[in-house]
Amino acid sequence: MSAVRGSTITGLGRAVPAGVLTNADLERMVETTDEWIITRTGIQERRIAPAGVATSDLAFEAARQALADAQVPAADLDLIIVGTATPDMIFPATACLLQDRLGAPRAGAFDASAACTSWVYACAMAHGYIAAGLAETVLVVGAETLSRITDFRDRATCILFGDSAAAAVLQPAPPGQGFLSFVLGSDGSGGSLLSVPAGGSRAPASFETVERGQHFIQMNGREVYKFAVRMIPRAIQAAADRAGIALEEVDFFIPHQANIRIIDAAAHRLGQPREKFFVNVERYGNTSSASVPVALYEAWTEGRLAPGDLGILVAFGGGLTWGACAVRWTKASPEGTA
Ligand code: UT7
């Protein structure tokens, strides 16, 4: 990218619900075993928001923390983008609900919808706005309450998903600092492999759609798995190429946390040490658009990212969509971490 200026993350925040759903809990709900879930996915537990808590509630808590971390008042925000597949409602956008709650009178606000890739797409947009001089300070949130669209009678999907949110504040940075490249992709021909079929204009919510469970996530897990294993290494390599860096120079990878076997396969295919890949899927499962920013937040608070480090963030999901970005990390870890 030959921008006059780039952007970097100056604040991070995260909100995970306290409620834990373990594999043992799921054994009591559907015909499954802790052993099957761990060997096939690596997931041990996931967080579930209590009744009455919506996506914007988690987004608000994560955003509040990110703004405090960046030392930016909400009134200074130019733009709020919420990446989510589980908005509070079809409209208004969850970003508008957040704008009101934060008290951000100057901010434009909209949602980005690219399923699990939404937060990476939203960062690309925020970066573009900043690089073009259309915004100085952008809040980018990934927030999900996937439990609301999960069929807890379907063992093929209900073991995978969880609720959480994370937020980042993006502000201008010199070229070569912060975001170095973005790669976004899609293949709509695979749309039916991962979808929520009803509730939109094709199949408006009705008694029948609810009876058929079409307001829940439907997934062809095996095909999505194959797509992910093929596309993650390509997206990572493309982001590195576009940034003009070699994978050997990369200090950390933050992959979408969907399945430990997908992450292992990506590391193997790229010939990169597995230790470079941050993993927390065992604690949260797949939290869609919140997955990459929650992992980034935890890698940062655990002291695994140092200013000057090179990293690549990568996500994939429904659409089908994928996205990756290279970053030169600029943010010191919070005090008290290694
Ligand atoms: O953000 C993107 C979202 N999605 C993903 O990333 C999902 C990608 N896909 C996956 O992670 C994997 O495909 C799954 C974890 C979903 C499934 O693992 P798999 O190794 O691909 O299993 P499978 O779907 O091929 O199913 C194997 C067997 C089947 O039984 P049969 O047909 O061999 O008799 C399933 O019925 O495992 C059965 N099965 C289960 N057994 C116990 C499916 N779910 C379960 C379960 N417990 N929870």
> pLDDT tens digit string along 64-100?
999 999 999 999 999 999 999 999 999 999 999 999 9
Q: Mark whether 300 and 154 lie in a shared domain.
A: no
Domain that holds residue 199: 180-328
User: Is the same domain home to 223 and 277?
Assistant: yes
User: Which of residues 153, 175, 197 is at a domain's end?
Assistant: 175
What pLDDT sits at residue 3?
55
Query: Residues with Cβ < 8 Å from 178, sequence gap 6 or more?
Result: 6, 7, 8, 9, 170, 327, 328, 330
pLDDT at 335: 77
Asked whether residue 251 falls in the same domain as residue 272, the answer is yes
| Residue 319 located in a structural domain | yes
- The burial class, CB within 10 Å (0-12 / 13-18 / 19+), for 221 is middle
Domain membership flag for residue 336: no
Of residues 130, 119, 123, the one with CA closest to residue 59: 119
Cα separation, 59 vs 83, whole angstroms: 10
Are residues 158 and 18 part of one domain?
A: yes
Rounded CA separation 302/336 (Å): 9
pLDDT of residue 98: 98
Of 156, 175, 194, at which residue does a domain stop? 175
261 C-beta closer than 6 A to ligand 1: no
Which residue type occupies 202?
A: R
Three-state DSSP class for residue 32? coil
What is the pLDDT at residue 4? Answer: 79
Q: Whose CA is nearest to atom 29 of ligand 1?
A: 156
- Tally of domains within the chain: 2
Calculate how far, in angstroms, residue 222's C-alpha sits from the geometric centre of ligand 1. 7
Asked if 242 contacts 275 with a C-beta cutoff of 8 angstroms, the reply is no
CA–centroid distance, residue 217 to ligand 1 (Å)? 14
- As a whole number of angstroms, the distance between CA 98 and CA 57 comes to 8
CB distance 190 to ligand 1 below 6 Å: no
pLDDT for res 248: 97
Residue 95 within any structural domain of the chain:
yes
CATH code where residue 204 lies: 3.40.47.10
Q: Are residues 68 and 163 in the same domain?
A: yes
Please indicate, yes or no, whether residues 157 and 252 belong to a single structural domain of this protein. no
- Report the atom number in ligand 1 closest to the C-alpha of 155: 48
The atom number, within ligand 1, closest to the CA of 259 reads 11
Residues 6+ positions from 39 with CB-CB distance below 8 Å: none
- pLDDT recorded at residue 336: 61
**58 and 143, same structural domain?**
yes
Provide the annotated active-site residues. 116, 256, 286
Atom of ligand 1 nearest to the CA of 157: 16
The H-assigned helical ranges of 135-215 are: 155-158, 207-211
Task: Check pocket membership of 41 for ligand 1, CB cut-off 6 A.
Answer: yes
Specify the ligand 1 atom closest to the Cα of 224. Answer: 8
Pairing of strands 321-328, 310-317: antiparallel
- Residue 83 Cα to ligand 1 midpoint, Å, equals 26
Q: Does any domain span residue 228?
A: yes
Residue nearest atom 2 of ligand 1, based on CA coordinates? 317
Last residue within a domain, chosen from 120, 152, 175? 175
For a substitution probing ligand 1, which of 40, 187, 219 has the most ligand atoms within 8 Å of its CB? 40
For residues 278 and 183, give the distance between their C-alpha atoms in angstroms, rounded to a whole number. 20
Nearest Cα to 26, choosing from 11, 40, 7? Answer: 40
The answer to pTM > 0.95 is: yes
Do 93 and 186 lie in a common domain? no
SS3 state at 166:
strand
Q: Supply the pLDDT for residue 328.
A: 98
- Whether 16 and 123 share a structural domain: yes
276 plus 323 within the same structural domain: yes
Would you say residue 20 lies in a domain? yes
Both 111 and 160 in a single domain?
yes
Q: Where are the beta strands (DSSP E) in the chain?
A: 6-15, 20-22, 45-47, 79-83, 108-112, 138-145, 163-173, 178-186, 194-195, 218-219, 252-255, 310-317, 321-328
Rounded Cα distance between 120 and 85, Å, is 13
Domain-located, residue 64: yes
Give the model's pLDDT for residue 145.
Answer: 98
Choosing from 36, 219, 220, 222 the residue with most ligand 1 atoms within 8 A of its CB, the one to mutate for a pocket test is: 222
Instruction: Give me ligand 1 centre to Cα 320, in Å.
Output: 18
Burial level of 207, CB count in 10 A (0-12/13-18/19+)?
Answer: exposed
| Pair 242, 262 in one domain | yes
> Would residue 218 count as lying in a domain?
yes
Which stretches of the chain score pLDDT less than 50?
Answer: none
Q: Is residue 194 part of a domain?
A: yes
- Give dist(CA 80, CA 110) in Å, integer: 7
